[in-house]
Amino acid sequence: MDEFSWNDKYSIGNDQIDDEHHRLLELANEVAAFANSGEKLERIKVAIVALYEYVKTHFQHEEEYMIQLAYPQYEEHKKLHEEIIAGMNDIMKHSGNLDALVYKFKRLMNSWVLEHILTEDSRIASAKKPEEAAD
Ligand SMILES: [Fe+2]
């Protein structure tokens, strides 16, 4: 079973963003699967880098979407993205051993990424509705 599974409560009602969140969880599951099957540290790091690159692109898309919506908490939200990116950088730089890397990675995914989608990204969804209704 997947470590990080998609749940409809993650949907923010924008197909592109939802699809990207979906893909993000798939990439995180690839990392978890490598870790669980005892792959080497270097192989797991490669998978984390793939996720990291995807997250950076995704955050850019989300930021463009917020600009489109004239989302009032844009700056705060962007700052949270920067913190997650910094957290991922930190994991890659400072995790010389496998257990520490996997532990930190799972903690980051659960407490930052999933929590971020549920709380912060969902707020973008509530900002969106009146805008689209006005179109
Ligand atoms: Fe976000």
pTM (two decimals): 0.86
Q: What is the pLDDT of residues 2-53, one digit of tens each?
A: 788 888 988 998 999 999 999 999 999 999 999 889 899 889 989 999 999 9
Kindly list the protein residues that place their beta carbon closer than 5 angstroms to ligand 1, a single-atom ion.
Answer: 62, 121
Q: How far is the CA of 134 from the centre of ligand 1 (A)?
A: 24
Q: What is the pLDDT of residue 129?
A: 60
Q: How far is the CA of 37 from the centre of ligand 1 (A)?
A: 30
The answer to whether the Cα torsion of 79, 83, 84, 89 is positive or negative is: positive
Ranges of each domain in the chain: 15-134
Which of 2-6, 32-36, 92-96, 115-119 comes out lowest in average pLDDT?
92-96
Q: How far is the CA of 77 from the centre of ligand 1 (A)?
A: 6
Q: What is the pLDDT of residues 52-88, one digit of tens each?
A: 999 999 999 999 999 999 999 999 999 999 999 999 9
Q: How far is the CA of 38 from the centre of ligand 1 (A)?
A: 31
- 15-134: which CATH architecture? Up-down Bundle (1.20)
Q: Which pair of tokens denotes residue 126?
A: 């509530």
- Give the integer Cα–Cα distance in Å for 46 and 17: 24
Q: What is the pLDDT of residue 20?
A: 96
- Give the integer Cα–Cα distance in Å for 57 and 75: 17
